[in-house]
Structure 1
């Protein structure tokens, strides 16, 4: 049971990191597009 929790926590944190990374990329893209408008 404890291993399941550890794996779930790991995946959850991993997902948060990925979401953060995607959010940053999206932000950079919108700034990039504004720059070229």
Structure 2
């Protein structure tokens, strides 16, 4: 959802906005994000 991921020196996922859709895990080029 809009606003769930912020970008700066690193990406941060806001757990209050996250809906556990998995889009960030799929998009991560390093495989560093895991659902759950």
With the shorter chain as reference, the TM-score category is under 0.3
TM-score under structure 2 normalisation? 0.27
Structure with bigger helix share is 1
TM-score under structure 1 normalisation? 0.27
With a CA cutoff of 8 Å and minimum separation of 6, indicate the structure with the bigger relative contact order: 2
Larger of the two Rg values belongs to structure: 1
Structure with bigger strand share is 2
